[in-house]
Structure 1
Amino acid sequence: MKISQIIAKTSILIFTISGTVIGSAGVAASASTTTNAPSEYVQKDSKVGPGYYGNNTNTRASRSARMAQSYSAQSSTASFLAAIKPGAINTWKKYQVLPSITAAQAILESGWGTSGLTVQANNLFGIKGSYNGQSVTMSTKEEDANGNPYYVNAQFRKYPDWATSVEDHGNFFHDNSRYHNILGLKDYKQEANLIQQDGYATAVNYASSLIGLIQQYGLDQWDQEAFNQTTFPMKPIDMSVATVKFVSGYGINAYDDSGNYIDGSRDIFKDGTAWKVGEQRMINGQEMLQVATNEWIPRQYTTLDASVITVNAIPQGGVNTYDLNGNFTGTVLTSGTQWKSDQFATINGQRMYRVATNMYIPERWTQFGPGK
């Protein structure tokens, strides 16, 4: 069995600078279109956010309030909040976005979890594409160049639960530089106003709507809870031993110094086995760990996986990034934020991980270093 047959990659959602949602590469809308409105469809509503929402989104903010009031018992509202809370807490841990803000946005954009996409796919934010290969098809209302409406089928991400949808939404702010000014903030009022200023939604009362929900339901308590669970700098991960993390019962390929596959290695380097680590090296375009003389295993399939880098510095501290020539890029990464990485390089005599095109962060300021 090939590694590519076992490991599934999550589709990547791309947002344009204007905030318009675009489906991920390889996710195509149905070729069939119609001018007749289906009984159920979703459409863009820039007043609320950059996603796709239910038919009557022009009054979504007030509709969300009415829904909360009309529930037969307050426990229904509490159940919704309890379901999204783990994901909201994780948005702080992984992306440094306040849980209170994410929760308030989930309320507005999903109508307290009653939107069609939420019911069918646990998709609270109307995000197109697929998640871990899972999606649902919904009709979307679009407009041609003359403003005439038409309807077309498109795929939307399907999540296993609401908490996962909330956590994935945090990645939107992390991956879009226009919102980097909110990462790491601890004042929900400031963050709400900045999100509106950055163009997330066009409703003039968008920030005040978020703030009102946060205050009404005490969501700022979630922020404090997240702060208490996060302590930086973290103790660095022990780099001396790597444990294989793969599919239970299966092993991974090992390679020699020249990048050639070592026959029978999958029977040795099985999931759960631990190995002492020597050097680290880029081989066949992958970061490899030396586990024996002339034997290397891919780092991404071990407990030392560096495909996601956590900035490890003092709370709210910043870490400089550098280009391949060792020059400061002008970008400072906030402690606690996480960044995708695909390779490392030795720059200014230090090991650094690439987190963007020609942008590297020193290892000592990641989860693999002391952070001080």
Structure 2
Amino acid sequence: MFNVHLDTVAGGEPPAFDGARFTGRGAVDAKGPAVALLAGVAAAARSCPAVGRDVAVLVQAVAGEEGGALGTFGTRPLVEAGHTGRLNVFCEPTGLRHLPRATAAATARITVDGEDAVDDRPEAGHNATVLLGFLAQHLAASLGRAASAEPPFTVCVAGLHTGTLHNKVHGGGSLLLNLAYATATAGAAAERALVRALDEGLREFTARFSGAPPFARTAADAARITRLEWEKRGLPALGPQPAWGEELLARAGVDRWPDGEPGFTCDAIWLEGLPDSFTTVFGPGSLDANRAHAAGEFVDLADLEAFADRTAALLTAFADDVRRDGARHAVPVPARVPTDLTEKAGTA
């Protein structure tokens, strides 16, 4: 099974091709690799009659990978319906190395729900800007230290919003944080660390600002007007995979992502725990070097062609294994695709 997402992060310039390089949103993540994937499957089918005869090839072209959905509306329903393989490859930019693991992420929203005030009487309201700004710095420092402990996790202090007016005390607003982790244990530790750090931050804010008249009401009510909500939590992370898959990819000429190099989050998490299977992440280009999600996103034609070649080699090697060991590893018949799937709005 090959999985590739066709949605992109919003924005970006019009697509272009100069004969050697494609530019535009989705060039490397992941519309360009989607086309190269199909070219690789077609090449394998032409050169190896067993592909399509003895080996079933399933391609999942999904939406809902970007925008924080993490496959909830695209990949997850297909996996739960049984649309998986013995070998499962998720197409993401990995520099043509395969990555047999994937982190998951929890997203927290800290909301302040206080009362507004006019600029002439700031003490009459709750200043969500000052409170959330303080909490953002406190959480960055506290979670930054906790993230390096065991089990480790990664913290991203993300968007903070209260309002846009200069002559108003904004009483409400929110702060988003993302906590990425490689194991369920690390995810649970990250959640606990956030809860502790938020509680500490609220106490420190109250102690620091209770004596400042413009912020005294905010300090007194900080704990009451602040709440923690989880946009998502408890998602699986893709852990270690069986040795036979590593050997298969090596025979196909696909190098392995180094253990010491951090991985990233993608829809492959939904294959965690799938029995008698191997799941990995594999594709051309780099999220950073190819400017994925940003202006100037690109992928070179040569990298797409190399990905197609390696895809064909991987399918051929897998077909060889099936011919040799087919009786022990029968290809499962997919279940019927549900007809009531819902896609995530707001992605392109």
Coarse TM-score class (shorter-chain normalised): under 0.3
Query: What is the TM-score when the length of structure 1 is the normalising length?
Result: 0.20
Higher relative contact order (CA 8 A, sep 6+): 2
